[in-house]
Amino acid sequence: MNASKTAVLTDSAADLPEEIKEKYHIFTIRMKVIYHDRMYEDGKIDPMYIYEHFREEIPKTSTPNMAEVMDVVDEIKAEGYENIIAVMISCHLSGTYGVVRSAFEEENIKTFAMDSKNISIGSGIYAYYAAYLLEQGASFDETVAALKKKQEEGASVLNFYMDGLEYLAKGGRITPAVALVGKVLHLKPIIGCDKEGVYYPVAKIRGQAKGVARLVDLVLPDGLDISKYWISVMTGDGDKLAEQAIKRIYEKYPAANIIIRKQITATMAIHTGPGLLGIDRFEFK
């Protein structure tokens, strides 16, 4: 436990690796994967199972309810923590942030809930940063102030290359018309979250190889002081894409610090489909 007795809480869609959560004792609220006849907790189902069964059924996802959030809060308090910092994915992409805020209003301990206005590791990296600061001896107030400052500066830049838009459309994240246009024109989209935490097209290209190169160049443009950044590489049934991206990253920046390479979680896989590659840069200094 850190000296300030502050727990860090995030959600499963923030895509933090289990080893990082264990090292920094980061607590997780788990979303759910729902099939017509069964349900799984996010993080406790192999994302590859989702891809393998897409033809049979595209499952739905569900946010945790108030009781489930308060159960995690009770667990945090039982372990002796006196404060909680929660970092949740964009409220425009999930209702989890709203549920956490409501749950915190019922608590008598010091809390802060942050809408990261991002998704996947673009959100999770803020939770990691908070835990990192707390381990370095920062107080609750200092950590909250640092998180707010980093968000205002746009410290986390995450873009996703996708083989297509059909799964975002099926999940209601974009309109079917937009997905259809992309399919007809054979466009490969690069998607990000805007300042409000809403998906928007960063670029559209033709061809997978060009897509990977363009993604790397968008997130890691020439001239960066690479020593200031943590880099994460996320895949959605796309290990070959990740290998191509990592090779290009090191060609551009041999000293790049890739701290996370991970398959996206099951709930993310449902909404994005196979053939996904995400890269995030986070300015931690």
Asked whether the whole model's pTM tops 0.85, one would answer: yes
- Residue 167: pLDDT band (50, 70, 90) is low
Give yes or no for residue 147 having a pLDDT over 70: yes
The rounded distance, in Å, linking the Cα atoms of 186 and 166 is 12
Q: Looking up tokens 């959600």, which residue turns up?
A: 11
Q: What is the mean pLDDT of residues 187-203?
A: 87
Asked if residue 160 lies in contact with residue 211, where contact means CB atoms within 8 angstroms, the answer is: no
User: What is the average per-residue pLDDT within 87-112?
Assistant: 94
Tokens of 205: 């290209």
Predicted confidence at residue 178, as pLDDT, reads 42
- Lowest pLDDT segment from 66-70, 198-202, 277-281: 198-202
Tell me the mean pLDDT in the region 250-258: 98
Q: CA–CA separation, 207 vs 279, rounded Å?
A: 18
* Per-residue DSSP letter, 184: H
| Burial of residue 283, with CB atoms counted within 10 A of its CB: 0-12 exposed, 13-18 middle, 19 or more buried | middle
